[in-house]
Structure 1
Amino acid sequence: MSRTDETLLDLALSRATVDRSAHERARTGTIDAALADPGTRVLELREGTAPVLVPGRDRLALRAPRDRDVDASPWFLGRHEGVAYVAVRPGPGDGSPGVEAVEDVEWLSLREVGADLDDTEAGLLTTATALHGWHRGHQHCPRCGALTEVVLGGWVRRCPADGSEHYPRTDPAVIMAVVDPDHRLLLATGNAWPDGRVSVLAGFVEAGETMEAAVAREVREEVGVSVTDLAYRGNQPWPFPASLMLGFRARATTTDLVPDPAEIRSAAWYTRTELAERMVDGSRTLPSRVSIARLLIEEWFGGPLPTPREDSP
């Protein structure tokens, strides 16, 4: 198999080494036992950020359990090399000392550090971020509106009124590098983005739709282009708040661009030379290294994109 036929293996948020150890979630007392073990490592979350050691910004400030962690919405993340990992989300009234008391840390989001962490910690923070978003937005039963309770180590919310169980959802979304017969790459600017920021197209898979059909539909809807020769390139979780990004490459059979004004402010075809020049002069910016979008673009480009000149805007 040639390299061009392989899927992308080094996506920043697809790396994980921690065994989620689902059988432990079902045991009564798993969280209590983990928090009673001084060898357990605790990942503390605050409004979507986690403590990261500085300088370096490439290691999480994991800590030992504290007494008040039992009241801080603990979630069992799994186990690696015999060590249990738990995430906690202290409430505003939690008076326990933060990790800053013992470590030199900076509170950063997964978007900011996901590409710099090692495989174990990148996987931990990705999972914890996904759970954090789900718990924050799904506290009530969708059937009756009752406040649900957290069970199974943070992986299920159960309704005490009707007994129904609710699980973290994942929304599949396709993201695609579309290239025309002249090897130009299609990049667009979303309505909510700043001027000059460009990326490949993406969109959610609709009910009853295949991934491939979603790619063709989204490209046609967003810029009026037809595509063929789809090739799957890899996938990664994107917990902002709950997506799974499915990456594709596709070949355009038409090149006239008709951006959908409801979603796209502008779109254009780029040669490698044109994109490199606009990156250097600062007139174009791309998604961060943590995203599959950046890897799809760099795969087409043939390597890392150049950085802006110091005197660029």
Structure 2
Amino acid sequence: MSAAPFPLAVSLGDPAGIGPEIIAECWVRRAELACKGNDPPPFFVVGGMETLRSAAEARGIDCPIVPIAQVQEATMAFRAGLPVLAGFDVPFTPGQPSPEGAKLAMASLQWAAKLTLEGETAGMVTAPVEKAGLAAQGFIFPGQTEFLAAACRLMTDDAVMMLAGPSLRTVPLTVHVALADVPRYLSRELIVHKARITAASLTRDFGIEHPRLAVAGLNPHAGEGGKFGDEEMRIIEPAIAALKDEGLDVTGPVPGDALFMPRMRETYDAALCMYHDQALIPLKALEVDEGVNVTLGLPIIRTSPDHGTAFDIAGKGLAAPGAMMAAIRMAGQMAAARAGA
């Protein structure tokens, strides 16, 4: 982690959710963020200073809050407490989302993205937000991933969502669409495009020189020769053939009920899945406390814990910090990999 030249920016997320308390918990448990003997990546939070202070007190942890005026102060301040860029704030109301809280979440996200795009940070980690609350404040994007793609001046399909944990990485090729609409969104071009981005990122950000990709089938038994659907023959198999012609190590289409068996998981570095739940259910089942949402294909590094705001347990000291810790650790590893490239 010490190879990362700048600290990581952490956006606050919805201040009524579990984001503030697990961010504070990550500073308290910062030694656990270290990997392979390296120092943990220093990080700072963008806005919400009093919210974070109150969240730490409610959780009963000793997390000094250190206000900073500029990013350059963060690394030194990190030794004394959790650095927070002074700015927007709201009263701490755990479990009670508000328009003011949504405005703070949006401002924190936008500010963190700006700082990262300007090269002042090594990358950004985004805490969970409530999408409906953001939309009510004029946020026009389906989620944070789409916002970051636009901020980087990329098309939405150029930002690829990957869910990652210690034993599994999955990529949903279609994301927030109805299951009935998945077949019409799938195309040979979509699979090829996202597979290329995934393979390139596995090399650049994860140090995998020759990434292995497994592509899931859409239908039961991967269609069984057209008996249960023809998407495999019309779309998926031609895409795999095209990727192989480019020299990529790609297998499939693999039936969904076989793709995540222990022995099968040993044969690939990432699984490309046809729809949201095909990718997220196995990841959450296997990596419940360490799942990370990584956005591939961006010129910047962005990770996020693979869970939501959890308003029902916010402020009660019940939220596990594992996924946020994993997101910070992974962002630091990716930053170090890029710095050393």
Instruction: Report the TM-score, using the length of structure 2 for normalisation.
Output: 0.28
User: Greater helix percent: which structure?
Assistant: 2
Higher relative contact order (CA 8 A, sep 6+): 2
User: Greater strand percent: which structure?
Assistant: 1
Name which one, 1 or 2, has greater alpha-carbon Rg: 1
Instruction: Report the TM-score, using the length of structure 1 for normalisation.
Output: 0.30
